[in-house]
């Protein structure tokens, strides 16, 4: 059964993902929830709560308001707060009970926009998904609701956006610096970082970029949408170790070709024939975690060591972000079955509980999973 957890925590949820993605953009995020979502988010899933203001609130939904469909209270409360706090936009996020009773968030968003003249939109969340889906949908909502096409001016440098930069995957300032340094080192001109150490103004300039670099799967939906709306191609990959050069080369190639790609899929593969990769299939060296991070680290290790490493993906995933030989796991039992007797594992220390003592385990805390425990 893949729903029972004996020792592992669950990943940060979709509501936390949405909040994390929108945190620095100056909007007001309203979680339509009775209690708990905001506390969970700001305690376990957000490193900025005590350092930087952000207008993230819960609605304080009651059983009677849910049963009677009293959306008017929610609308009035949002308008009242918006009148006072003057956010740059308003985003609405859902939770289980409003999801079950079919609360019409599109209607509520329209009403709020009409009454307070501030752009309001819904971000699809329902608390049943992990942070990658919530942050991904939040970024998608930003593209759909806030971005406008801009003239792209040719320049000597390739202009890039970094998509998918939330503290859930990159909790420390140094993590973000590593990403921005990657741009500097390769002479890429960074237009916008989505969205840690950033601003709404930067984000609104994103359509000026030549290439989107998707550094975690949270940025994937936004990249796809920006490709549709603004003809910006994307490269998927997190710059790390020996994979950085391959990723940079792919950014340049995509800039020239206009064809998007997932960079780590073929990086460091000793055998280019997808149908003849028995050595890789046999590999029991695993990189465990979020799809882009795991895929990129596995690629870096393949390049640097010339050995096969496979990604074990434990978050939700979008089509096209894994190799056929990578492994997708849902729930603790599936992860345990894959990694318990492996040769080597790289991932959050929580996974170590599922491994036998013989496994060489490289501990790399993932904030979206173990939160503050290993910080």
Nearer to other proteins, 100 or 281 (CB): 100
Q: Which of 20, 21, 22, 47 binds other proteins (CB under 8 A)?
A: 47
| Chain centroid, CA 228 distance in Å | 20
Residue 48: DSSP 8-state: S
Segment near other proteins (CB under 8 A); pick from 70-78, 188-196, 215-223, 252-260: 70-78
- For the chain, how long is the longest CA-to-CA vector? 63
Nearer to other proteins, 269 or 317 (CB): 317
Q: Report if residue 351 touches other proteins, rule: CB under 8 A.
A: no
> What are the structure tokens assigned to 311, written together?
């990604």
Q: Report if residue 1 touches other proteins, rule: CB under 8 A.
A: yes
Q: Report if residue 349 touches other proteins, rule: CB under 8 A.
A: no
CA distance 21 to 169: 11
Q: Which of 6, 276, 306, 357 binds other proteins (CB under 8 A)?
A: 6
Best CA proximity match to 138, nearest among 210, 215, 222, 81? 222
- Minimum gap (Å) between residue 293 Cβ and other proteins: 19
Nearer to other proteins, 13 or 347 (CB): 13
Q: Report if residue 68 touches other proteins, rule: CB under 8 A.
A: no
CA distance 65 to 110: 20
Segment near other proteins (CB under 8 A); pick from 59-67, 153-161, 242-250, 251-259: 59-67
Nearer to other proteins, 130 or 308 (CB): 130
**Stretch (H or E) spanning 363:** strand 360-363
Q: Report if residue 38 touches other proteins, rule: CB under 8 A.
A: yes
Segment near other proteins (CB under 8 A); pick from 62-70, 208-216, 257-265, 280-288: 62-70
CB-based burial label for 113 (10 Å; 0-12, 13-18, 19+): middle
CA distance 174 to 111: 42
Interacting positions 171-230 with other proteins (CB under 8 A)? 171-172
Residues in Cβ contact with 107 at an 8 Å cutoff, skipping those fewer than 6 apart: 71
Q: Report if residue 5 touches other proteins, rule: CB under 8 A.
A: yes
Q: Is the Cα torsion angle 6, 8, 12, 14 positive or negative in sign?
A: negative
CB-based burial label for 96 (10 Å; 0-12, 13-18, 19+): middle
Q: Residue 289 in contact with residue 348, Cβ under 8 Å? A: yes
Nearer to other proteins, 15 or 300 (CB): 15
Strands 285-289 and 55-58: unpaired
Nearer to other proteins, 9 or 150 (CB): 9
Per-residue mark of binding to other proteins, 299-338 (x: CB under 8 A): --------------------------------x-------
Interacting positions 102-161 with other proteins (CB under 8 A)? 125-130
- Minimum gap (Å) between residue 57 Cβ and other proteins: 4
Q: Report if residue 62 touches other proteins, rule: CB under 8 A.
A: yes
Q: Which of 15, 142, 232, 292 binds other proteins (CB under 8 A)?
A: 15
What length does the chain have?
Answer: 375
Q: What residue has token string 């969970």?
A: 40
């Amino acid at each position: 059964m893949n729903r029972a957890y004996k020792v592992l925590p669950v990943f940060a949820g979709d509501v936390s993902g949405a909040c994390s993605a929108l945190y620095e953009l100056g909007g007001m995020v309203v979680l339509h929830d009775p209690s708990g979502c905001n506390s969970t988010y700001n305690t376990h899933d957000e490193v900025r709560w005590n350092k930087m203001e952000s207008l993230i609130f819960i609605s304080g939904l009651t059983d009677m308001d849910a049963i009677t469909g009293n959306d008017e209270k929610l609308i009035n409360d949002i308008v009242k707060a918006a009148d006072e706090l003057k956010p740059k936009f308003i985003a609405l996020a859902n939770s289980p009970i409003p999801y079950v009773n079919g609360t019409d968030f599109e209607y509520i968003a329209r009403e709020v926009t009409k009454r307070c003249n501030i752009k309001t939109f819904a971000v699809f969340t329902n608390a049943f998904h992990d942070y990658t889906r919530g942050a991904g949908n939040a970024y998608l909502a930003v593209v759909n609701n806030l971005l406008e096409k801009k003239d792209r001016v040719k320049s000597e440098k390739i202009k890039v956006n970094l998509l998918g930069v939330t503290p859930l995957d990159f909790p420390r300032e140094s993590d973000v610096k590593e990403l921005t340094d990657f741009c500097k080192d390769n002479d890429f001109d960074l237009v916008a970082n989505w969205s840690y150490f950033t601003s709404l103004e930067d984000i609104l300039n994103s359509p000026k970029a030549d290439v989107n670099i998707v550094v975690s799967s949270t940025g994937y939906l936004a990249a796809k949408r920006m490709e549709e709306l603004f003809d910006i191609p994307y490269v998927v990959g997190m710059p790390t170790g020996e994979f950085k050069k391959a990723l940079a080369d792919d950014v340049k190639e995509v800039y020239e070709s206009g064809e998007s790609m997932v960079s780590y899929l073929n990086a460091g593969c000793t055998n280019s024939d997808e149908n003849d990769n028995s050595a890789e299939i046999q590999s029991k060296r695993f990189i465990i975690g979020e799809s882009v991070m795991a895929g990129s680290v596995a690629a870096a290790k393949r390049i640097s060591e010339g050995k096969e490493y496979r990604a074990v993906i434990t978050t939700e995933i979008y089509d096209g972000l894994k190799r056929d030989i990578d492994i997708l796991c849902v729930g603790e039992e599936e992860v345990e079955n894959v990694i318990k007797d492996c040769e080597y594992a790289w991932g959050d220390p929580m996974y170590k509980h599922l491994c036998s003592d013989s496994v060489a385990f490289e501990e790399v805390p993932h904030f979206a999973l173990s939160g503050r425990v290993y910080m």
